Amino acid sequence: MLTFDQVSKSYPGGFIALDRISFELAKGEMAFLTGHSGAGKSTLLKLISLIERPTSGRVLINQIDLSRIRRHQVPFIRRDIGIIFQNHRLLMEHTVFDNVALPLIIEGFTGKDMVKRVHAALDKVGLLDKVRCLPETLSGGEQQRVGIARAVVNKPPLLLADEPTGNLDPELSKDIMQVFEAFNQVGVSVLIATHDHGLVARMRYRTLTLKQGKMINDGLLQFEEPL
Ligand SMILES: Nc1ncnc2c1ncn2[C@@H]1O[C@H](COP(=O)(O)OP(=O)(O)OP(=O)(O)O)[C@@H](O)[C@H]1O
């Protein structure tokens, strides 16, 4: 599904955010991406979603080398990737329905087909009864679930999440993780960047650990190791 092959990323000024990173995420696999603040987690996600480009090395999605993707082709690649942000970036003056419908509208869906898909996505995150609400009337956990519904509404095979439980208490974090697991169980590949040591330890998934731009661990993390 996803391949990093000796990928490095330097930012202008020469700072090396990622240093020769290689790994594969299989179709239907779920993994955590962890490491200290500034270790390169967001940079790695940005390379997958084509927000940034590598300085060297190759990133492939379904065998497609992203370095060969031209600017006008970027939306076609992004269509296969659902992205969930920590601060969910919802449009606060629009309803839950409008927020979740947005990716479909961009893709040209209209009418009953669009409504059906929006309702199906909200149903999966348990928020169908909030479809007419404005996001500000929802709790933090519910807002995050709207963000997840928006990310999955066009059924992408790959989900990326950047600190999806960052502002949530442990109980709500657990709910959010169960939503990710449910998508994973139906074959979606999921990569979750997180600082949350407790979450990583509890959930026992493959964990990719970055330290100063280098991959220092790939596998189940030992609890005692500080991130
Ligand atoms: N656009 C940029 N220009 C210059 N340096 C950048 C840029 N974006 C990130 N960096 C630097 O690259 C390093 C890695 O940043 P990144 O955001 O990937 O880390 P992170 O692991 O996601 O951190 P956090 O957990 O705090 O979000 C940091 O030192 C950061 O300052």
Quick: pLDDT tens for 4-60.
999 999 999 999 999 999 999 999 999 999 999 999 999 999 999 999 999 999 999
The string of DSSP letters for 50-61 reads TSS--SEEEEEE
The Å distance, Cα 104 to ligand 1 centre, comes to 31
Is the beta carbon of 18 within 6 A of some atom in ligand 1? no
Specify the pLDDT at position 174.
86
Q: pLDDT for 104-115, tens place per residue?
A: 998 899 999 999
Q: How far apart are CA 101 and CA 67, in angstroms?
A: 30
Nearest residue (by CA) to ligand 1, atom 6, is 11
Q: Are strands 16-25 and 158-162 parallel, antiparallel or unpaired?
A: unpaired
| C-alpha 43 to ligand 1 mean position (Å) | 6
- What pLDDT digit, counting tens, does each position of 170-216 carry? 888 888 899 999 999 999 999 999 988 888 888 889 999 999 999 99
Cβ(223) – ligand 1 distance below 6 Å: no
Is residue 219 over pLDDT 80?
yes
pLDDT classification of 221: cutoffs 50, 70, 90: confident
Percent of the chain with pLDDT over 70: 97
Q: Is 164 exposed, middle or buried (0-12, 13-18, 19+ CB in 10 A)?
A: buried
**What was the pLDDT predicted at 172?**
83
- Per the prediction, the chain carries an average pLDDT of 92
Which amino acid would we find at residue 211?
Answer: K
| Predicted structure pTM score | 0.91
* Contact indicator for 146, 98 with CB cutoff of 8 Å: no
